[in-house]
Structure 1
Amino acid sequence: MSQFNLVEKRIFQVLVVILAIICFIPGGGGAFGGLNVSSSMAGGELLFTSESNLRGFVDNQYRFGFGVFFTQGLVLLFFLRNIQQHANLFRFAALSLFIGGFARATNIIEFGIVDSAVVAPTVIELGVIPLLLLWHQRLIKKLNLREY
Structure 2
Amino acid sequence: MRADSEKRLLQITVAAACLVPLLAGGAGILRSAEILPGVAAPLPIDLDSHFRYLSGLLFGIGIAFAFAIPRIERNGALVRALGLIVVAGGLARLVSLIQHGPPGSGHIFGLVMELGVVPAIMLWQARVARRFGR
Fold conserved between structures, TM > 0.5: yes
RMSD between superposed Cα atoms in Å: 1.6
Distance 1:114 1:22 in 2: 18
TM-score, length of structure 1 as denominator length: 0.83
Task: Give structure 2 stretches of 5+ with no counterpart.
Answer: none
Task: Give structure 1 stretches of 5+ with no counterpart.
Answer: none
Which digits, 9 at most, give the CA deviation of each residue in 1:53-86, with x for residues without a partner? Answer: xx11111111111100001111011111212332
Q: How far is 1:103 from its partner?
A: 1.1
Letter in 1 for 2:27: G
Match of residue 110 from structure 2: 121
Distance 1:16 1:119 in 2: 20
Letter in 2 for 1:18: A
Distance 1:75 1:117 in 2: 22
TM-score, length of structure 2 as denominator length: 0.91
* Bigger Rg, which one: 1
Distance 2:116 2:15 in 1: 17
**Aligned partner of 2:54 among 65, 78, 98:** 65
Q: 2:7, 2:73 within 8 Å by CA — same for their partners in 1?
A: no
Structure 2 counterparts to residues 22-41 of structure 1, below 5 A: 22-36=20-34, 38-39=35-36
Distance 1:28 1:117 in 2: 15
Q: How far is 1:27 from its partner?
A: 0.5
SS of the equivalent of 1:84 reads: helix
SS of the equivalent of 1:99 reads: helix
* Structure of greater relative contact order (alpha carbons < 8 Å, 6+ residues apart): 2
Percent identity, aligned pairs only?
25
Q: How many residues align?
A: 134
